Amino acid sequence: MKRFILLFTSLCSVNFSFSQANLVIEAPLNDNTGGINRGPNGTAAHAFLRGCYLVTQSELVNIPIGTSLTSFGFTMSAGATGAAASGNFTVYLQNTADVTYQKGTNWSTAITSMTTAFASVMTVPLSPGVTTSVAVVLSTPVTYTGGGLYVAYDWASAGPYNTTAANYLGETTTFPLPAGG
């Protein structure tokens, strides 16, 4: 059985161990647009941040049905500077047949039917001017059923905070916010 790792807007690579393929899938594809508000950027302005996105089936075509999703992450065009910022980070996942974002803007409603896949500490990496990624291993893997995937996260940090925000890569051409999630 193949095991895949889903890495939200991340690097692509292949790693083999124990005769199981571990693939990192970039979804949605990065269109070289950056932003400090796509994920926890490590600054005091992001002491608290929540987001919910729809990754469509067409962006997940490289993942076979029945695959266990075991990791989640972000790619940054530039990491933060200053002190390393850590915070409580929770990732929620849900398989869906939706082709457009349907979760709405109410956080409690959006995550109601989602699986809590990770709830622990994450650190926003320090890497000024360098593309970098941060990934977490899901404590509760989710089996991909072949449609789209809702991805939500919740971040809270008490500091210390970074002096310069991390800048996340993403895709804004196909699903511009707020309709994209």
Average pLDDT, the chain: 77
107 secondary structure, DSSP code = H
**CB burial class (10 A; 0-12, 13-18, 19+) of residue 163?**
middle
Instruction: Kindly indicate the confidence band of residue 11, based on its pLDDT and cuts at 50, 70 and 90.
Output: very low
Helix (H, G, I), strand (E, B) or coil at 20: strand
70/8 Cα distance (integer angstroms)? 12
| Predicted local confidence at residue 111, as pLDDT | 97
Per-residue pLDDT tens for 89-138? 999 999 999 999 999 999 999 999 999 999 999 888 777 777 777 888 99
- 152 in Cβ contact with 111 (< 8 Å): yes
Entry pTM: 0.77
* Rounded mean pLDDT, 174-180: 44
| Predicted local confidence at residue 6, as pLDDT | 42
